[in-house]
Amino acid sequence: MAKISAALVKELRERTGSGMMECKKALESTAGDLEAAIEHLRKTGQAKAEKKAHRVAAEGQIMIRHADDGRCAALVEINCETDFVAKDDNFQQFAAQVTERVLAQQPTHIDELLAIPFPGGETVDEARKHLIAKIGENINVRRFSLMATETGLLNSYLHGSRIGVVVELQGGDAALAKDIAMHIAASRPLCITPDQVPAEVLDKEREIYLAQAEQEGKPAHIAAKMVEGRLRKYLKEVTLLGQPFIKDPDQSVEQLLKQAGATVVHFERMELGEGIEKKADNFAEEVMAQART
């Protein structure tokens, strides 16, 4: 077996980011051939990524980046398995680089984003797989949203690393747009106005309210009025314009916007891990499972 110098191991580690022992083993298996060792680590990294692909990744990072001219913003969710890894510098750097790629290249879907190269030539997906091999957790580039405006203004609010909102306003100013984004983060409106609420959502709510009225023994004409009243209340609760403004609950968001002569054109809200089915594992078993991989 060829003698592997510490300097060679160090160089391989610097070029690949892999652990010291992994680098040493890769060099030993390739008789000290640095380029062959790099290829070996890439192949084993791919295998590790495939092995971990089934594991639930619901932690991670929501990131936002704005273009220098303020006309475009990117909102991105990158997932990992644990909050510990979400705070890791390598994971944070990867998430930031992906968000910059979204803003710079403006892909239209995830597959297109994953194929975009970083400045060094490695694609987003290749970098993701190498990071899985290095960190030891499943990592997913889950979703992204791009917002652009020609005549309005964009601003955003990031609540820690878990909730991100980007808002487009016509009229008003950056401070108002930030306040509206903060409100959306806290109050989770479904949409801006009642006419944007999907018909199937309204039908479901109407069905529930009607069943409630019937259980209360109300006559049909009274039940119908109760249903419509409850629907109106529901629409105020789930639409941005109908909600009480979080900084001043005595006025609605609609009243706030009217005072400023502003209109919300569009908003995007992402909450980390929403919609991902999370498995409740026994912690001790989880630690043992990690140790065995």
Task: Please measure the distance between the N-terminal and C-terminal CA atoms of the chain and give it in whole angstroms.
Answer: 28
Residues with Cβ within 8 Å of residue 144, at least 6 apart in sequence: 74, 75, 76, 77, 99, 102, 107, 110, 113
Owner of token pair 């590790």: 48
For the chain, domains (ranges, CATH) are 6-52 (1.10.8.10), 59-148 (3.30.479.20), 194-266 (1.10.286.20)
Beta-bridge partner residues of 191 = 239
Q: Alpha carbon of 92 to those of 101, 126, 255, 283: distances in Å?
A: 14, 16, 39, 25
Nearest-angstrom CA–CA distance, 229 and 240: 19
Ordered per-residue pLDDT tens for the chain, 293 residues: 567 888 888 887 777 666 677 778 888 888 888 888 877 776 665 444 455 556 667 899 999 999 999 999 999 999 999 999 999 999 999 999 999 999 999 999 999 999 999 988 899 999 998 898 888 888 999 999 999 999 999 999 999 999 999 999 999 999 999 999 999 999 999 999 999 999 999 999 888 888 888 888 888 888 888 888 999 999 999 999 999 999 999 999 999 999 999 999 999 999 999 988 765 554 455 444 544 54
Structural tokens at position 166: 């980007």
17-46 burial code (b ≥16 CB/10 A, e <16): bbeeebbbbbbeebeeeeeebbebbbebbe
